[in-house]
């Protein structure tokens, strides 16, 4: 296939599909670092025009990473559902954008085509969409997942309560955990990033979270975000594991750099299911992703970082996860330079994941060496709220003292629920009311002192 | 059941005289540096908490740009009897370091030559030690010497030869692989300044790698992070590292397949367990 287009009196040619995709990507530092970005703004739009004319079918013919070399490519092709693809099989990428924005593309029709889409098709259409397009289409899609709470329902916004501590100190974690619950956070998951992979420390944290969830009968789930192999080990020791966590990427080589393969994920998924700990549903996996991870591991095969990211969602959807979290600004300015690039990437990731049928959340975040600040986070937070993001992070005061980056705070979640009239997950909303933390309308009731349901903790303060 | 004081405060908040609702569990801040019990104005952050955050962000931003005083660090290490080689990555300044991670992972040609000369004259040791500024020069400046003292004594106990100690300016984690490869070492210990956090702008990380070579990926490394005054102590960090080194020597691996089970082992250094204050919800 010849990839070429005319723009501004110049004919632009693109060597192959992955080059075309890379050149069509809105500017970001990671693609410049990889040497795959468009050379100038005109070449970028020329690539977008060429991409818009490309038949979706071409993505089934030409793979950006060869089938023989990469198990993620094999997964993408082998799991493609031709029946689901049929209704859009005649479209170009440009037609597909038009259709997505049209009133014909209802929630049920979008959900019906999900298994007929490959990550590359979805990445491609995202590249020719503006922010408002990404938001509009995302908002139509409802992806619901369940374990002990129901997540992703329209009009709801959940949070991961993230009570991290630099030495995994149980008292420090408990203090942040209590604060988060009192601020109405924690319905997506209570998830700790442990400071160490030490199996005994990890199992201690699993027990701590499980004890709190059982003691107060909280309709949520726990997760200690350690390596999948450590989860397996913990399960073998009999530790209480609700969700199995793993960071995943869009190429086999990048996953290898994380020390994982599809076979390992299959094993962990089966082990988590065997525990039967979900009350409402059996979505037992929690995945994190982020643009730039494949390049960071030098495992991108010349593919742009946004396309690599969407390929990671093909890995995720194999396991019907409860949560998929794009940790958008964590990787640093080498990959997403500033607030503008982080905001665009967050909207893309959320859109692409939702279109592929994933329960997308976003860690709206930045590091201290990026050109970003709280104003940028407020923008992305508000935009993703409008787009219907399933969950965001709840970190005390937005400052993660273990991972050393800034995410969204308990207060940020309250802000978003208020301005967009959203509530926590239904089961958690009932629990908050029962505990006297919020009223029936979701308004926070806790003032200076602990609510009556937690008065027994007052002597320990 | 609400207390009178509770009702009063709500009432006052409604009148608008004092819209800030504070939290009496502020006392739990003794257990963590996390920004808990910040209070609220309806759903939002009170002014003082908001501006305190802005100040800390400004300071952390500035900390990224503080340069490493390599000469001062060399002097500290020489005092301990260590051999020191001051090196530089291919990132010539901070701006380039931030935008070009590939350059921070490679040694400048003159630094590489320096290592080759050193090896030709002195031969190989089993353990290479590399210190890099990373994203927090202050972390390295303030903690590297104490860590090195503990590490040297631990390595001597294990009978492992080590050195020289390379200090790489504008260095990233993978630059140490090149150092160790050029020095012909089997094991690599690297100390690097971590990205500055709002509450911990001086955090240091240790990376341990077996059979280091240029181009290897992260699954071969073991990481011990958050070493700072209010995080993991130098003693505990080195204790964990020595345990990893011992297990690595036994199993001939490092990285994700070398699980940190140091809790099962007897403490190797005589560190008194800290008496931790307790707080639990159950």
Q: For A21-36, what is the mean pLDDT?
A: 97
Task: Kindly give, in sequence order, each residue whose CB lies less than 8 Å from that of residue A297, ignoring residues fewer than 6 positions away.
Answer: A249, A253, A254, A257, A258, B217, B218
Nearest CA in chain B to A455: B1
Q: Do A199 and B99 touch (CB under 8 A)?
A: no
pLDDT of residue A264 exceeding 70, the answer is: yes
Residue with tokens 């701006």: B95
Q: Residue B263 — very low, low, confident or very high, per pLDDT cuts 50/70/90?
A: low
What is d(CA B205, CA B216) in angstroms, rounded to the nearest whole number? 19
Kindly state whether B62 is in contact with chain A, defined as any CB-CB distance less than 8 angstroms. no
pLDDT (mean) for B4-33:
71
CA–CA min distance A402, chain B (Å): 7
- For the record, the structure tokens of B68 come out as 């490493």
Residue of A171, A230, A444 with shortest CB distance to B43: A444
CA angle A164, B171, B217 (to 5 degrees): 70
Confidence of residue A247 (pLDDT cuts 50, 70, 90): very high
List, as one string, the DSSP characters of A239-295: ---S-EEEE--SSHHHHHHTT--HHHHHHHHHHHHHT---SS----EEEEE-TTHHH
The tens digit of pLDDT for each residue in A67-81 reads 999 999 999 999 999
Question: Are the Cβ atoms of B25 and A409 closer than 8 angstroms?
Answer: no
Contact A167 B231 (CB under 8 A): yes
Q: Do A444 and B40 touch (CB under 8 A)?
A: yes
**Token duo for residue A273:** 């299911």
C-alpha span between A69 and A89 (Å, rounded): 27
Residue B232 has its nearest CB partner, among A167, A256, A447, at: A167
Of the partner residues B228, B259, B278, the one whose CB lies closest to the CB of residue A171: B278
CB B179, CB B142: distance < 8 Å: no
Residue B256: what pLDDT?
83
pLDDT score of B14:
45
Nearest CA of chain B to the CA of A161: how many Å?
13
Task: Kindly tell me if the per-residue pLDDT of A42 is higher than 90.
Answer: yes
Contacts of A218 in chain B (CB under 8 A): none
**Which residues in chain B have their CB less than 8 angstroms from residue A190's CB?**
none
So what's the pLDDT on residue B219?
A: 86
- pLDDT tens-digit map of B159-197: 999 989 999 999 999 999 999 999 999 999 999 999 888
* pLDDT value at A282 more than 70: yes
Cβ neighbour number for residue B252 with a 10 Å cutoff: 11
Residue A141 · residue A113 · CB < 8 Å: no
Can you tell me the mean pLDDT for A216-238? 97
B54 interface with A at CB cutoff 8 Å: yes
For residues A450-458, give the mean pLDDT. Answer: 97
Mean pLDDT throughout B222-232?
Answer: 90
pLDDT of the residue at B277: 66
Rounded-to-integer distance, Cα B94 and Cα B25, Å: 42
Give B118→chain A minimum CA distance, Å: 30
Q: Mean pLDDT throughout A128-142?
A: 98
C-alpha–C-alpha distance, residues B264 and B282, integer Å: 26
Q: Is the pLDDT of residue B259 over 80?
A: no
Global confidence as pTM: 0.89
What's the rounded mean pLDDT across residues A279-295?
97
pLDDT value at position B199? Answer: 82
Question: 3-class SS at B129?
Answer: strand
Contact call for residues A306 and A127 (beta carbons, < 8 A): yes
Q: What is the pLDDT, as a whole number, of residue B12?
A: 40
| Mean pLDDT, residues A160-187 taken together | 97
Distance CA B89, CA B130 (A): 12
DSSP-derived pairing of the beta strands A222-224 and A244-247: unpaired
Domain ranges, ordered by start, for chain B? 4-64, 67-275
CA count, 13 A, side-chain hemisphere, A388: 24
The b/e string for B182-203 (b: 16+ C-beta within 10 A; e otherwise) is: bbebbbbbbbbbbbbbbbbbbb
Identify the pLDDT of residue B4: 47
The pLDDT of residue A372 is above 50: yes
- In this predicted structure, what is the pLDDT of residue B200? 80
Whether the pLDDT of residue A143 is over 70: the answer is yes
Residue range B30-52: mean pLDDT, rounded: 97
Average pLDDT, chain A: 97
Q: Which pLDDT value is given to residue A419?
A: 98
Task: Test B203 with A166 for CB contact under 8 angstroms.
Answer: yes
Asked if B237 has any chain A CB less than 8 Å from its own CB, the reply is no
Label residue A198 by pLDDT band (50, 70, 90).
confident
Which residue on chain A is closest to B38 by alpha carbon? A397
**Residue B218: which of A171, A215, A297 has the nearest Cβ?**
A297
> In terms of CA atoms, which chain A residue is nearest residue B279?
A171
Q: Please give, rounded to a whole number of angstroms, the shortest distance from the CA of A437 to a CA of chain B.
A: 12
Strands A150-151 and A145-146: antiparallel
pLDDT tens digits, B193-223: 998 888 888 899 999 999 999 998 888 999 9
Tell me the DSSP string of A356-376.
TT--EEEE--B-TTSB--HHH
Q: Say whether A33 and B280 touch across the interface (CB within 8 A).
A: no
User: Cβ–Cβ of A169/B32 closer than 8 Å?
Assistant: yes
Q: Are B126 and B162 in contact (CB under 8 A)?
A: yes
Distance from CA of B215 to the nearest CA of A (A): 9
Q: Which of B219, B231, B236, B225 is nearest to B190 (CA)?
A: B225
Cis peptide before A423 (omega within 30 of 0): no
The single residue listed with the structure tokens 């540096």 is B33
Nearest to A448 among B21, B232, B262 (CB): B21
Please tell me the predicted confidence (pLDDT) of residue B262.
67
A401–B34 CB contact, under 8 Å: yes
- The fraction of chain A above a pLDDT of 90, given in percent, is 97
Which of A102-106, A342-346, A439-443, B22-26 has the lowest average pLDDT? A439-443
Which residues of B are less than 8 Å from A293 in CB distance?
Answer: none
Domain boundaries B67-275, CATH class: alpha beta
Predicted confidence (pLDDT) at residue B267 exceeds the cutoff of 60: no
Per-residue pLDDT at B276: 63
Does residue B258 have a pLDDT over 50? Answer: yes
pLDDT in tens, A320-353: 999 999 999 999 999 999 999 999 999 999 999 9
Alpha-carbon span A242 to A276, nearest angstrom: 9
Q: CB burial class (10 A; 0-12, 13-18, 19+) of residue B270?
A: exposed
């Amino acid at each position: 296939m010849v990839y070429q287009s005319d723009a501004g009196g110049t004919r632009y040619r693109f060597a192959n599909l992955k080059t075309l995709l890379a050149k069509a990507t809105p500017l970001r530092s990671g693609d410049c670092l990889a040497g795959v970005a468009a050379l100038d703004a005109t070449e970028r739009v020329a690539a977008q025009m060429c991409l818009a004319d490309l038949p979706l079918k071409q993505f089934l013919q030409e793979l950006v990473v060869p089938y023989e070399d990469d198990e993620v490519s094999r997964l993408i092709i082998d799991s493609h559902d031709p029946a689901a693809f049929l209704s859009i099989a005649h479209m170009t990428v440009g037609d597909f954008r038009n259709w997505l924005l049209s009133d014909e593309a209802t929630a049920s029709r979008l959900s019906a085509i999900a298994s007929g889409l490959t990550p590359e098709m979805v990445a491609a259409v995202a590249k020719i969409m503006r922010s408002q397009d990404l938001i509009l289409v995302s908002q139509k899609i409802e992806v619901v997942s369940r374990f002990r709470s129901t997540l992703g329902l329209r009009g709801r916004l959940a949070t991961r309560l993230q009570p991290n501590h630099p030495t995994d100190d149980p008292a420090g974690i408990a203090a942040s955990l209590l604060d988060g619950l009192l601020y109405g956070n924690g319905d997506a998951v209570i998830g700790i990033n442990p400071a160490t992979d030490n199996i005994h420390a990890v199992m201690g944290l699993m027990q701590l979270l499980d004890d709190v969830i059982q003691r107060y009968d909280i309709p949520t789930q726990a997760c200690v975000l350690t390596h999948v192999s450590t989860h397996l080990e913990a399960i073998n020791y009999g530790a209480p594991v609700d969700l199995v966590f793993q960071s995943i990427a869009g190429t086999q080589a990048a996953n290898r750099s994380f020390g994982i393969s599809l076979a390992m994920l299959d094993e962990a998924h089966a082990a988590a299911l065997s525990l039967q700990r979900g009350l409402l549903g059996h979505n037992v996996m929690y995945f994190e992703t982020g643009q730039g991870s494949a390049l960071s591991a030098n495992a991108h095969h010349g593919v742009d970082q946004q396309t690599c990211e969407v390929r990671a969602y093909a890995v995720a959807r194999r396991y019907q996860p409860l949560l998929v979290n794009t940790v958008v600004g964590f990787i640093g300015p080498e990959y997403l330079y500033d607030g503008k690039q982080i905001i665009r990437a967050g909207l893309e990731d959320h859109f692409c994941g939702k279109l592929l049928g994933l329960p997308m959340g976003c860690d709206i975040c930045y590091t201290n060496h990026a050109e970003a600040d709280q104003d940028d986070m407020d923008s992305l937070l508000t935009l993703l709220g409008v787009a219907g993001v399933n969950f965001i992070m709840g970190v005390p005061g937005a400052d993660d003292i273990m991972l050393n980056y800034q995410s969204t705070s308990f207060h940020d979640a309250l802000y978003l629920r208020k301005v967009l009239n959203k509530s926590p997950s239904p089961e958690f909303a009932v629990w908050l009311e029962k505990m006297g933390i919020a009223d029936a309308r979701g308004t926070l009731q806790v003032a200076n002192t602990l609510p009556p349901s937690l008065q027994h903790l007052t002597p320990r303060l | 059941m609400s207390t009178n004081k509770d009702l009063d405060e709500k009432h006052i908040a409604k009148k608008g005289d004092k819209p800030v609702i504070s939290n009496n569990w502020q006392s739990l801040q003794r257990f963590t540096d996390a920004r808990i019990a910040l209070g609220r104005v309806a759903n939002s952050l009170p002014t003082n908490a908001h501006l305190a955050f802005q100040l800390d962000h400004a300071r952390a931003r500035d900390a990224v740009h503080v340069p490493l005083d390599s000469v001062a660090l060399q002097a500290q290490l020489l005092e301990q009897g260590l051999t020191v080689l001051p090196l530089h990555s291919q990132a010539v300044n901070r701006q380039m370091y931030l935008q070009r991670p590939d350059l921070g992972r490679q040694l400048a040609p003159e630094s590489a030559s320096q290592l080759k000369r050193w090896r030709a004259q002195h031969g190989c040791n089993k353990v290479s030690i590399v210190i890099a500024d990373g994203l927090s020069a202050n972390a390295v400046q303030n903690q590297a010497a104490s860590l090195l003292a503990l590490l040297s004594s631990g390595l001597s106990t294990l009978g492992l030869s080590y050195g020289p100690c390379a200090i790489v300016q504008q260095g990233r984690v993978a630059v140490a692989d090149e150092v160790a490869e050029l020095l012909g070492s089997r094991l690599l210990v690297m100390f690097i300044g971590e990205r500055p956090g709002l509450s911990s702008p001086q955090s240091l990380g240790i990376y341990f790698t077996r059979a280091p070579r240029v181009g290897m990926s992260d699954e071969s490394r073991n990481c011990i992070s958050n070493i700072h005054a209010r995080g993991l102590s130098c003693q505990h960090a080195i204790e964990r590292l020595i345990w990893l080194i011992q297990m690595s020597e036994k199993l001939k691996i490092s990285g994700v397949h070398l699980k940190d089970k140091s809790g099962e082992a007897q403490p190797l250094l005589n560190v008194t367990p800290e008496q931790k204050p307790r707080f639990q919800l159950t």
